[in-house]
Amino acid sequence: MTYHYDPTNIFARILRGEIPNKTVLETPHSLAFHDINPAAPVHVLVIPKGAYVTFDHFAAEASAEELVDFHRACAQVCAMVGVAPGDGSTGKGYRAITNAGAHGMQEVPHYHLHILGGRAMGPLVLK
């Protein structure tokens, strides 16, 4: 599978420091920041620093180090923003979503995981 990454996308520009972001967490291989147009009281985007277009691209081609770093960053973000529903946490849960390609209605072609919470999220998708 060949993936084409467009380095002019807005998240690539955020990673290069060309435009600002409201950072929640930065790790060696990942960045988490608040969505500019939040769809819920909590809406954080977690992105890898590497040039990956979609979830499947990242899952197929990222190094083990990048994969672990990204998922640990997601876990840290869930805890930091108070949505993790695990033992001992007051968090009430969250929804993690990633959109890919045209049918996924992906707007920004740099892989990102939306972490949404702070209210009940409703049905999974429109039918």
Q: How far is the CB of 27 from ligand AMP (least distance, A)?
A: 18
106 forms part of the interface with ligand AMP (CB under 6 A)? yes
Amino acid at 24: V
Burial of 55 (0-12, 13-18, 19+ CB in 10 A): middle
The CB-of-20 to ligand AMP minimum distance in angstroms stands at 8
Per annotation, catalytic residue among 29, 57, 110, 112: 112
Tokens 């949404």: give the residue. 116
114 is catalytic: no
| Phi-psi category of residue 88: left, alpha or beta, with phi > 0 → left and psi -120 to 50 → alpha | left
CB of 87 to ligand AMP, least distance (A): 31
Nearer to ligand AMP, 37 or 90 (CB): 37
Q: Is 54 a binder of ligand AMP (CB under 6 A)?
A: no
Closest to 47 measured CA to CA, from 107, 98, 83: 98
| Residue 94 dihedral angles phi and psi, to the nearest 5° | -160, 170
Question: Would you say 19 or 80 has its CB closer to ligand AMP?
Answer: 19
Q: Tell me which residues touch ligand AMP (CB under 6 A).
A: 10, 19, 21, 33, 35-37, 45, 99, 105-108
